[in-house]
Amino acid sequence: MSDLERTHLVGIGGAGMSGIARILLDRGLEVSGSDAKESPGLLTLRAQGAKVAVGQAATNLDLFGDRGPTAVVVSTAIKPDNPELVAARARGLTVLHRSEALAALMAGHRVACVAGTHGKTSTTSMLTVALQHCRLDPSFAIGGDLNESGANAHHGHGGIFVAEADESDGSFLAFTPSVAVVTNVEADHLDHHGTVEAYTTVFESFVDKIEPGGLLVACADDAGSESLAARAEARGVRVRRYGRAATGNERDVTLLEHRPDGGTGGGVARILLDGAEIELRVAVPGEHMASNAIAALLAGLELGAPLPGLLDGIASFGGVRRRFEFKGRSGDVRVYDDYAHHPTEVAAQLRAVRPAAQGGRIIVVFQPHLYSRTKLFATEFGAALALADEVIVLDVYGAREQPEPGVTGTLVADAISLPGGQVHYEPSFEKVPPLVAGLVRPGDLVLTMGAGDVTMLGPELIAELDRRVQPA
State the catalytic residues. 120-121, 164
The pairing of beta strand 139-141 with beta strand 153-154 = antiparallel
Fill in the amino acid letter for 287: E
- The CA–CA distances, whole Å, from 362 to 54, 118, 151, 320, 391 equal 39, 22, 30, 21, 9
Residue 150, phi then psi, degrees to nearest 5:
75, 10
CA distance 266 to 258: 10
Please choose, from the candidates 185, 167, 189, 258, the residue with its C-alpha nearest in 3D space to the C-alpha of residue 222: 185
CA distance 60 to 77: 18
Angle between helices 343-356 and 287-302 (to 10 degrees): 110
Q: What is the DSSP letter of 399?
A: T
Report whether 169 contacts 335 (CB < 8 A).
no
Report whether 264 contacts 278 (CB < 8 A).
no
Q: What is the DSSP letter of 221?
A: T
Fill in the amino acid letter for 267: G
Residue count of the chain, please give it: 472
CA distance 310 to 308: 5
The neighbouring-strand residues paired with 244 are: 255
Angle at 244 between CA 277 and CA 148, to 5 degrees: 75
Neighbours of 393 (CB within 10 A): 28
CA distance 343 to 379: 9
Residue 24, phi then psi, degrees to nearest 5:
-60, -45
CA distance 360 to 324: 17
Q: What 3-state DSSP class applies to 305?
A: coil
CA distance 32 to 432: 38
- Cα R_g (the chain), whole angstroms: 22
